[in-house]
Amino acid sequence: MVHFLGSQRPQGTLVAIVGSTGEGKTSLVSAMLGELPAVGDTNVVIRGKVAYVSQVSWIFNATVRQNILFGSAFDPIRYSKAIDVTALRHDLDLLPVFEKCIKEELRGKRRVLVTNQLHFLSQVDRVVLVHEGR
Q: What CATH number is given to the structural domain containing 71?
A: 3.40.50.300
Does position 20 have pLDDT exceeding 80, yes or no? yes
**Does 96 map to a domain?**
yes
- Distance between CA atoms of residues 123 and 105, nearest Å: 15
| pLDDT at position 90 | 61
CA distances from 62 to 67, 76, 126 (A): 7, 18, 38
**Does 1 map to a domain?**
no
**Does 2 map to a domain?**
no
How many domains does the structure of the chain reveal?
1
Stated pTM of the model: 0.53
**Does 8 map to a domain?**
no
Domain that holds residue 62: 14-129
**Does 34 map to a domain?**
yes
Give pLDDT tens digits for 30-69.
888 888 887 788 777 777 888 777 767 677 777 777 888 8
| pLDDT at position 75 | 93
**Does 6 map to a domain?**
no
- Distance between CA atoms of residues 83 and 76, nearest Å: 10
**Does 7 map to a domain?**
no
Given pLDDT bands bounded at 50, 70 and 90, which one contains residue 5? low
